[in-house]
A and B are shown apart, each in its own frame.
Chain A
Amino acid sequence: MILTTLTFLVFVLITLLIYFVIPKKYKWLVLLASSIYFLFYNNFSFKIVLYILIILLTSYFGGLLISKYKDSCKSKWILLVCIIIILSVLLYLKYTNFLLLTLQYIIRFFGGNFTFNYVYRDFPIGISYYSLIMIGYLVDVYRGICLPQKNILKCALFMSYFPILTSGPFIRYNDEQDYLYNDYKINFKEIYLEIVRILWGLFKVLVISERLNIIVNTIYGDISTYSGLYILLAILCFPIQLYTNFSGSIDIVIGVSKMFGIYLPENFTSPFFSKTITELWRNWHITLGAFLRDYIFYPLMKSNIIQKIGMFFKNKFGKKVSKKVTLYISMFIMWILIGIWHNGSYNFIISSGILQFVYMVLEDLLGPVAHKINVKLHINDQSKGYRIYQIIRTYLLFAFSMIFFRASSVTNGISIIKTLFLSSSFSLRNLGLNNFNYIILLISLLILFIVDKININANILEKVNSFSTVNKIILIGIFILIILTFGMYGIGFNVSDFIYSKF
């Protein structure tokens, strides 16, 4: 069930109605029932149920056992076994091809002959999210941050809470347990804000992202025809397309959740106003970054092996070098995992992993050098102009890395880069949009720019909250009309194409 469809909105509406009429103590069961329905809406089979049950039962019993043996070293082993089980399910379902391809590369590298056949496995919706979420839950129980959930159905709700299944954000048990299981009284004053948030998400996805999608798909879909400036246009458009699509979905998820009284963490905070890649990643897919930082990066930094490496470099090259080396090793591992998490293929590892790591290392190493050069050249790096330059630079670097994110493979990504340098004529016609649509796109991008700019230092929703009820209703009405009229949704219908074609 896609978040931007009428089916999803009707589904949410029905769930909301039942949620508010049902007695307090059973409200969470409504969410659970809806989540189970959502989980199996498009995909129901014995195997799918089995995979979900393995993760649920491992997490549930694992949590109880870790808590039971919390003072003995058994708890560490239980945690490890649980993580291995959950990751095995995830690897089996989503990363078999990636592992086999890697094996193929390795064997061929050593002169062997091995060709793997692509394996297709049906996997449950949201598995990449709740596998990690449940690992986070087990680690939190182990660390004593939270107590284990004793009711398996409540544990199932935490794992399968339906709004987050398609696009996140990553949630943590300790943050959400009160919201998920406790009674919630509807706040009619805030419901306007939640509706505005959902509509804003729909606007971003349907009005902006879908239009950009047409341009990007047209160009990337035919790189033998489109080259040079066309490729540059696609490269520049894709990050905004991705951002509006992803953050728009998150707006819907957060808005819907707030209607149930569930507060979810923000996942994006005006990322394209960032001055460095490091800053950009603090504002982009925030919950994934935070999750991996807390559950992988910090534990890695504290791990024996990294400590030993640190000691080795400290003795050889001094404290400063040792700090950098341990930091970069941990960062490298974390970014590779971020790349793998996005999808088990090398183009994702390059785009969301290696390139981001390289950018950050370069920023860390060259930042002080650049500052010194600026001082010598009397460039004020605190000026507005310099800030704009930094923002554009960051966007361009990010856009370049996203070539591999959008590409179907590493080879395809390289081909795209090669065609970027081929000369070509340029016209905005024949990219799938007419003049009217370009105007709508430009106006929408301007609105997005203004809203994101305001959101840097303030929360625009708080400003909306200060509106009178009438003005709030006007805003909602305008949004609905804009989305319905200018949104790109539904089946394409070219009435001229069909007439008498069947004869």
Chain B
Amino acid sequence: MKYLKIVIVIIIFILIFIFLNRLVSPKYANHLVEGSMTNAYYKEDKDHEVIFLGDCEVYANISPLVMFENYGITGYVRGNSSQDIWQSYYLLKETLKYEKPKLVVFNVSSMKTSSPDSEAYNRLMIDNMKWSKEKIDLINASMTDEENILSYIFPILRYHARISELTMEDFKYLFKNKVNTYNGFLINQNIKPVDSLPAKRKLASYEFSQKNYEYLDKIYSLCKENNITLILMKAPSLYPYWYQEYDEQIKKYADEKKIDYYNFIDVINDIGIDYNTDTYDGGLHLNLNGAVKLSIYFGKILKEKYNLTDYREYDIIKQKYEKKLKEYYKEIEDGYEKNN
């Protein structure tokens, strides 16, 4: 009886501990919604033909729903703020456990970063990721020097100070996560025209690090093993600068591996991007207008060149996407109303 009591007491404490861990964790529901992106994928049907991988240049610039609307492409963006290449690799690994797309499009801007960026970005990406071997590997690859894997396992070690700042959101989303994206695309309707850009600086080195090449090789091999076509892209951002030297290295890599590479900076005019109306932060990221233009432009290439299925002809999928598009346009409409 005594041992039974002890076991019950310990179980109760473990349950309270789990509850507290969840309570103090940021919910990323209405504030810092970038933290909800990794988790949003789990609520999706896993039947995408194209997976877009990368950082904010992907989730802000490519709208899979627009691609479906125009070409019947089913795509999903697995992108996060400042997503490093090793993070993209492990996210792809995780994705392949759920589905096998025809195409993987990797945005190469993260090739510039060779070491973990900041704890905050790691948290936004990892906090709501499902536990798996990929998550553990991802954490180990991403941690900055100050971080500790224990605080990812037990978020209370990291977020306990939030106990004094809890809001209703923390209780409302205690056991559920809010989806803030549309197939991984985060709508931003603000407009901040390109005013002026910082002067280009001469860098000490333009060489991508060996580590990044290794991860690019891993992404390439993973796609090859799974009969997936890998495509490299560079989103049309004006800043941070995508130097000619960077571009040449990617072109060389793509040629060697015989994979396609699209640098959309070169075709800004063809896409029709107007940096007075199509960016929300002065040329770093496209806003909704710009993202629609890029998605139509890139969708056409994908559709014509890679023999993708037009899923608008499949009723069940069509209905599902129509429902999503309805919600998508409603949010856009609400956003316009709010802004005006």
Contacts and interface: CB of A to CB of B under 8 A. Distances in A.
Interface residues of B, number: 40
A499 interface: yes
Interface stretch (B9-17, B90-98, B244-252): B9-17
A292 interface: no
Interface string A1-43: 0000010000000000000000000000000000000000000
Contacts, number: 81
B284 interface: yes
A493 B122 CA distance: 12
A72 interface: no
Contact of B161 (A477, A480, A481, A488): A488
Contacts of B163: 436, 485-486
Interface in B137-183: 146, 148, 150-151, 156-161, 163-165
A469 B5 CA distance: 10
Contact of B6 (A473, A485, A486): A473
Given A493-B120, A499-B34, A474 B9 contact: yes
Given A473-B9, A477-B9, A503-B284, A490 B119 contact: no
Contact of B160 (A434, A470, A490, A495): A490
A434 B165 contact: yes
B119 A493 contact: yes
A124 interface: no
A436 B6 CA distance: 33
Contacts of B32: 495-496, 499
A168 interface: no
Contact of A486 (B81, B150, B157, B160): B160
B13 to A, nearest CB: 4
B17 A499 contact: no
Contacts of A362: none
Given A6-B150, A436-B163, A485 B120 contact: no
A484 B157 contact: yes
A474 B6 CA distance: 9
Interface residues of A, number: 29
Contacts of A440: 164
B119 to A, nearest CB: 7
Interface string A429-447: 0000010110010000000
A157 to B, nearest CB: 31
A499 B120 contact: yes
Given A484-B20, A485-B24, A493-B120, A477 B159 contact: no
Contacts of B281: 500, 503
A484 to B, nearest CB: 5
A118 interface: no
B6 A469 contact: yes
A17 B102 CA distance: 53
A467 to B, nearest CB: 13
B118 interface: yes
B165 A470 contact: no
A450 interface: no
A489 B121 CA distance: 21
A125 B288 CA distance: 58
B55 to A, nearest CB: 11
B240 interface: yes
Given A470-B2, A481-B13, A481-B20, A491 B165 contact: no
B72 interface: no
Contacts of A498: 118, 120-121
A489 B32 CA distance: 24
B20 to A, nearest CB: 6
A484 B18 CA distance: 12
B101 interface: no
A174 B16 CA distance: 47
Contacts of B165: 434, 436
Most A C-beta atoms less than 10 A away, residue of B20, B123, B161: B161
A211 B123 CA distance: 26
Contacts of A490: 151, 157-158, 160-161
A484 B148 CA distance: 16
Interface string B5-48: 11001100100110010001010000110110000000000000
B160 to A, nearest CB: 6
Interface in A280-300: none
B123 to A, nearest CB: 7
Nearest to A474: B9
Most B C-beta atoms less than 10 A away, residue of A434, A492, A498: A498
Contacts of B34: 499
Contacts of A436: 163-165
A481 B151 CA distance: 15
Interface in B274-308: 281, 284
A488 B6 CA distance: 29
Contacts of B31: 496
Contacts of B146: 491
Contacts of B5: 470
Contact of B26 (A6, A477, A495): A495
Contact of A484 (B9, B118, B160, B239): B160
A163 interface: no
A215 to B, nearest CB: 15
A492 B158 CA distance: 8
A311 B150 CA distance: 68
9 contacts: A436-B164, A473-B6, A477-B9, A481-B16, A484-B20, A485-B156, A485-B160, A490-B160, A502-B117
Interface of B: 2, 5-6, 9-10, 13, 16-17, 20, 24, 26, 31-32, 34-35, 81-82, 117-121, 123, 146, 148, 150-151, 156-161, 163-165, 239-240, 281, 284
Given A480-B13, A491-B119, A499-B120, 5 more contacts: A474-B9, A484-B156, A486-B160, A490-B161, A503-B240
